[in-house]
Protein backbone atom coordinates (compact mmCIF):
# COMPACT_ATOMS: atom_id res chain seq x y z
CA UNK A 1 0.00 0.00 0.00
CA UNK A 2 1.19 3.51 -0.87
CA UNK A 3 2.10 5.58 2.23
CA UNK A 4 -0.78 7.91 3.05
CA UNK A 5 0.40 10.30 5.73
CA UNK A 6 2.29 12.76 3.47
CA UNK A 7 -0.66 13.13 1.08
CA UNK A 8 -3.10 13.68 3.94
CA UNK A 9 -0.91 16.22 5.75
CA UNK A 10 -0.26 18.23 2.57
CA UNK A 11 -4.02 18.58 2.10
CA UNK A 12 -4.56 19.33 5.79
CA UNK A 13 -1.95 22.12 5.81
CA UNK A 14 -3.46 23.64 2.65
CA UNK A 15 -6.97 23.60 4.18
CA UNK A 16 -5.71 25.13 7.44
CA UNK A 17 -3.89 27.86 5.50
CA UNK A 18 -6.93 28.66 3.33
CA UNK A 19 -9.39 28.68 6.22
CA UNK A 20 -7.23 30.32 8.87
CA UNK A 21 -6.96 27.45 11.36
CA UNK A 22 -4.20 27.36 13.96
CA UNK A 23 -1.89 24.30 13.88
CA UNK A 24 0.28 22.91 16.64
CA UNK A 25 2.61 19.91 16.60
CA UNK A 26 1.85 18.01 19.82
CA UNK A 27 4.93 15.84 19.39
CA UNK A 28 6.30 13.37 16.87
CA UNK A 29 6.00 9.61 16.66
CA UNK A 30 9.15 8.58 14.82
CA UNK A 31 9.41 11.40 12.26
CA UNK A 32 5.65 12.02 12.03
CA UNK A 33 3.97 14.82 14.01
CA UNK A 34 0.59 14.53 15.69
CA UNK A 35 -1.17 17.72 14.54
CA UNK A 36 -3.63 19.62 16.70
CA UNK A 37 -5.86 22.12 14.90
CA UNK A 38 -8.25 24.73 16.13
CA UNK A 39 -9.96 27.96 15.20
CA UNK A 40 -7.43 30.78 15.54
CA UNK A 41 -9.52 32.91 17.89
CA UNK A 42 -11.08 31.28 20.96
CA UNK A 43 -14.33 32.82 22.21
CA UNK A 44 -14.49 32.39 26.03
CA UNK A 45 -18.32 32.44 25.94
CA UNK A 46 -18.59 29.41 23.64
CA UNK A 47 -18.30 25.69 24.47
CA UNK A 48 -14.98 23.95 23.86
CA UNK A 49 -15.26 20.77 21.79
CA UNK A 50 -12.58 18.33 20.68
CA UNK A 51 -12.90 15.99 17.69
CA UNK A 52 -10.27 13.31 17.18
CA UNK A 53 -9.68 10.43 14.75
CA UNK A 54 -7.07 8.00 13.55
CA UNK A 55 -6.33 6.13 16.77
CA UNK A 56 -6.28 3.04 14.55
CA UNK A 57 -4.43 3.31 11.26
CA UNK A 58 -6.78 1.23 9.13
CA UNK A 59 -9.83 3.32 10.08
CA UNK A 60 -9.67 5.94 7.37
CA UNK A 61 -13.10 7.60 7.38
CA UNK A 62 -12.43 9.55 10.60
CA UNK A 63 -9.32 11.45 9.44
CA UNK A 64 -10.78 12.16 5.98
CA UNK A 65 -14.13 13.15 7.49
CA UNK A 66 -12.43 15.70 9.78
CA UNK A 67 -10.40 17.06 6.84
CA UNK A 68 -13.56 17.47 4.71
CA UNK A 69 -15.37 19.09 7.64
CA UNK A 70 -12.51 21.59 8.13
CA UNK A 71 -12.47 22.27 4.38
CA UNK A 72 -16.19 23.17 4.36
CA UNK A 73 -15.50 25.75 7.13
CA UNK A 74 -18.95 25.60 8.65
CA UNK A 75 -19.66 28.43 11.08
CA UNK A 76 -20.59 26.98 14.47
CA UNK A 77 -21.22 28.45 17.90
CA UNK A 78 -18.36 26.55 19.55
CA UNK A 79 -14.57 26.57 19.80
CA UNK A 80 -13.62 23.49 17.78
CA UNK A 81 -10.30 21.69 18.14
CA UNK A 82 -9.30 18.62 16.13
CA UNK A 83 -6.65 15.93 16.11
CA UNK A 84 -7.27 14.30 12.71
CA UNK A 85 -4.62 11.57 13.08
CA UNK A 86 -3.64 10.37 16.53
CA UNK A 87 -1.55 7.47 15.21
CA UNK A 88 0.43 8.78 12.22
CA UNK A 89 2.71 5.74 11.73
CA UNK A 90 -0.29 3.39 11.68
CA UNK A 91 -2.26 5.65 9.32
CA UNK A 92 0.71 5.92 6.96
CA UNK A 93 0.77 2.18 6.37
CA UNK A 94 -2.93 1.45 6.87
CA UNK A 95 -2.08 -0.65 9.93
CA UNK A 96 -4.08 -0.65 13.14
CA UNK A 97 -1.26 -0.01 15.59
CA UNK A 98 1.92 2.05 15.46
CA UNK A 99 5.34 1.06 14.14
CA UNK A 100 6.06 -0.87 17.34
CA UNK A 101 2.66 -2.59 17.45
CA UNK A 102 1.57 -0.70 20.57
CA UNK A 103 -2.15 -0.40 21.22
CA UNK A 104 -2.98 3.27 21.01
CA UNK A 105 -6.32 3.67 22.81
CA UNK A 106 -5.49 2.52 26.30
CA UNK A 107 -3.30 3.22 29.31
CA UNK A 108 -4.40 6.85 29.74
CA UNK A 109 -4.62 5.97 33.41
CA UNK A 110 -3.65 2.78 35.17
CA UNK A 111 -6.18 -0.05 35.19
CA UNK A 112 -5.83 -3.60 36.48
CA UNK A 113 -5.88 -5.15 33.01
CA UNK A 114 -4.40 -2.59 30.64
CA UNK A 115 -0.87 -1.74 29.61
CA UNK A 116 0.66 1.71 29.85
CA UNK A 117 0.18 4.34 27.13
CA UNK A 118 1.59 3.93 23.61
CA UNK A 119 4.01 6.48 22.09
CA UNK A 120 0.95 8.43 20.86
CA UNK A 121 -0.72 8.17 24.24
CA UNK A 122 2.39 9.56 25.96
CA UNK A 123 2.31 12.58 23.64
CA UNK A 124 -1.41 13.19 24.33
CA UNK A 125 -0.81 12.89 28.08
CA UNK A 126 2.14 15.31 27.83
CA UNK A 127 -0.33 17.82 26.31
CA UNK A 128 -2.95 17.11 28.96
CA UNK A 129 -3.72 20.74 29.88
CA UNK A 130 -4.44 21.74 26.27
CA UNK A 131 -6.47 18.59 25.55
CA UNK A 132 -8.57 18.81 28.72
CA UNK A 133 -9.33 22.51 28.14
CA UNK A 134 -10.28 21.81 24.50
CA UNK A 135 -12.69 19.00 25.41
CA UNK A 136 -14.35 20.61 28.42
CA UNK A 137 -17.84 20.56 26.87
CA UNK A 138 -17.48 17.42 24.77
CA UNK A 139 -15.14 15.06 22.93
CA UNK A 140 -15.87 12.91 19.89
CA UNK A 141 -13.46 10.20 18.76
CA UNK A 142 -14.43 8.71 15.41
CA UNK A 143 -13.49 5.08 14.86
CA UNK A 144 -14.48 2.38 12.40
CA UNK A 145 -15.06 -1.34 12.72
CA UNK A 146 -13.64 -2.92 9.58
CA UNK A 147 -15.12 -6.31 10.50
CA UNK A 148 -18.68 -5.05 10.95
CA UNK A 149 -21.64 -4.11 8.78
CA UNK A 150 -23.44 -2.67 11.79
CA UNK A 151 -22.81 0.59 13.67
CA UNK A 152 -22.28 1.27 17.38
CA UNK A 153 -21.07 3.85 19.89
CA UNK A 154 -19.31 4.04 23.25
CA UNK A 155 -20.55 7.02 25.24
CA UNK A 156 -20.02 8.70 28.59
CA UNK A 157 -22.55 11.12 30.06
CA UNK A 158 -23.16 12.37 33.59
CA UNK A 159 -26.43 10.44 33.82
CA UNK A 160 -27.17 7.01 35.17
CA UNK A 161 -28.82 6.12 31.86
CA UNK A 162 -27.93 7.30 28.34
CA UNK A 163 -29.37 10.72 27.52
CA UNK A 164 -29.97 12.96 24.50
CA UNK A 165 -26.30 12.95 23.52
CA UNK A 166 -26.09 9.17 23.14
CA UNK A 167 -29.49 8.87 21.46
CA UNK A 168 -28.69 11.67 19.01
CA UNK A 169 -25.44 10.04 17.87
CA UNK A 170 -27.10 6.62 17.45
CA UNK A 171 -29.94 8.20 15.48
CA UNK A 172 -27.46 9.88 13.11
CA UNK A 173 -25.57 6.62 12.50
CA UNK A 174 -28.93 4.96 11.86
CA UNK A 175 -29.56 7.37 8.97
CA UNK A 176 -26.42 6.12 7.20
CA UNK A 177 -26.18 2.43 8.02
CA UNK A 178 -28.61 -0.41 8.19
CA UNK A 179 -28.73 -1.47 11.82
CA UNK A 180 -27.01 -1.26 15.20
CA UNK A 181 -24.70 -4.03 16.37
CA UNK A 182 -26.50 -6.08 18.99
CA UNK A 183 -25.50 -8.64 21.62
CA UNK A 184 -21.94 -8.91 20.34
CA UNK A 185 -18.86 -8.85 22.52
CA UNK A 186 -16.12 -6.56 21.21
CA UNK A 187 -12.50 -6.06 22.23
CA UNK A 188 -11.00 -2.72 23.09
CA UNK A 189 -7.30 -1.82 23.19
CA UNK A 190 -7.33 -2.05 26.97
CA UNK A 191 -9.69 -4.98 27.51
CA UNK A 192 -9.75 -8.33 25.79
CA UNK A 193 -12.42 -9.64 26.01
CA UNK A 194 -14.21 -6.32 26.08
CA UNK A 195 -17.80 -5.27 26.66
CA UNK A 196 -21.03 -6.44 25.03
CA UNK A 197 -22.60 -4.02 22.58
CA UNK A 198 -26.36 -3.92 23.15
CA UNK A 199 -28.59 -2.12 20.65
CA UNK A 200 -25.54 -0.33 19.27
CA UNK A 201 -24.37 0.94 22.64
CA UNK A 202 -21.64 0.52 25.23
CA UNK A 203 -22.30 2.99 28.05
CA UNK A 204 -19.70 4.30 30.50
CA UNK A 205 -17.25 1.48 30.00
CA UNK A 206 -14.11 2.27 32.00
CA UNK A 207 -10.92 0.75 30.61
CA UNK A 208 -8.38 3.59 30.51
CA UNK A 209 -9.26 4.62 26.95
CA UNK A 210 -8.92 8.24 25.76
CA UNK A 211 -12.70 8.82 25.96
CA UNK A 212 -12.89 7.29 29.46
CA UNK A 213 -9.90 9.36 30.63
CA UNK A 214 -11.25 12.71 29.40
CA UNK A 215 -14.66 12.01 30.95
CA UNK A 216 -12.92 11.30 34.27
CA UNK A 217 -10.94 14.51 33.85
CA UNK A 218 -14.18 16.48 33.72
CA UNK A 219 -15.40 16.61 30.13
CA UNK A 220 -19.18 17.06 30.05
CA UNK A 221 -19.63 14.14 27.64
CA UNK A 222 -17.45 11.94 25.45
CA UNK A 223 -18.13 9.44 22.66
CA UNK A 224 -16.58 7.00 20.26
CA UNK A 225 -18.56 6.34 17.10
CA UNK A 226 -17.88 3.12 15.20
CA UNK A 227 -18.87 3.37 11.55
CA UNK A 228 -19.15 -0.07 9.94
CA UNK A 229 -16.52 -0.53 7.24
CA UNK A 230 -17.02 -4.11 6.08
CA UNK A 231 -17.79 -3.90 2.34
CA UNK A 232 -18.97 -0.29 2.65
CA UNK A 233 -17.28 2.29 0.44
CA UNK A 234 -14.99 4.87 2.04
CA UNK A 235 -16.88 7.79 0.51
CA UNK A 236 -20.10 6.73 2.22
CA UNK A 237 -18.32 6.37 5.57
CA UNK A 238 -16.70 9.80 5.16
CA UNK A 239 -20.09 11.41 4.50
CA UNK A 240 -21.48 9.68 7.59
CA UNK A 241 -18.50 10.97 9.62
CA UNK A 242 -19.17 14.58 8.53
CA UNK A 243 -22.81 14.18 9.56
CA UNK A 244 -21.76 12.71 12.93
CA UNK A 245 -19.38 15.65 13.55
CA UNK A 246 -22.17 18.15 12.84
CA UNK A 247 -24.61 16.29 15.07
CA UNK A 248 -22.03 16.01 17.87
CA UNK A 249 -21.50 19.79 17.78
CA UNK A 250 -25.26 20.49 17.80
CA UNK A 251 -25.85 18.09 20.71
CA UNK A 252 -23.04 19.63 22.79
CA UNK A 253 -24.27 23.19 22.10
CA UNK A 254 -27.81 22.12 23.08
CA UNK A 255 -26.52 20.60 26.34
CA UNK A 256 -28.32 18.15 28.61
Give contact residues for Zn ion (rule: CB under 5 A). Answer: 56, 59, 143
As a whole number of angstroms, the distance between CA 155 and CA 60 comes to: 21
* Shortest Å, Cβ 56 to Zn ion: 4
Four-residue CA torsion sign, 127, 144, 182, 137: positive
- CB 91 to Zn ion: min, Å: 12
Q: How far is the CB of 245 from Zn ion (least distance, A)?
A: 16
Q: What is d(CA 29, CA 26) in angstroms, rounded to the nearest whole number?
A: 10
**Closest CB to Zn ion among residues 24, 96:** 96
Nearest to Zn ion of 59, 207 (CB atom): 59
Q: Which is nearer to Zn ion, 35 or 97 (CB)?
A: 97
Least CB distance to Zn ion at residue 96 (A): 8
Judge if the upstream peptide bond of residue 193 is cis by omega within 30 degrees of 0: yes
Name which of 145 and 157 has its Cβ closer to Zn ion. Answer: 145
Which residues have C-beta within 8 Å of that of residue 72, sequence separation ≥ 6? Answer: 242
Q: Least distance from C-beta 101 to Zn ion, angstroms?
A: 15
Residue nearest to Zn ion (CB): 143
User: 18, 10 in Cβ contact below 8 A?
Assistant: no
- What are the φ/ψ torsions at residue 243 (nearest 5 degrees)? -65, -40
If the CB atoms of residues 21 and 215 are measured against Zn ion, the closer one turns out to be 215
Residues in the chain: 256
Measured in degrees and rounded to the nearest 5, phi and psi for residue 88 equal -65, -35
**Strand-strand pairing, 48-53 and 32-39:** unpaired
Amino acid sequence: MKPQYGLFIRQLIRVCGNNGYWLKNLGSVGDKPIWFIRTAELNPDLPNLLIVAGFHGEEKAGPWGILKWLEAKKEVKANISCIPIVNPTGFNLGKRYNTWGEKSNGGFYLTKKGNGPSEEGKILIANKDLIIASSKDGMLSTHEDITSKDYYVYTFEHHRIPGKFTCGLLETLGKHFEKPLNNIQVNTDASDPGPYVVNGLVYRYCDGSFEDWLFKEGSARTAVTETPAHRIRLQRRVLATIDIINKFIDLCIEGD
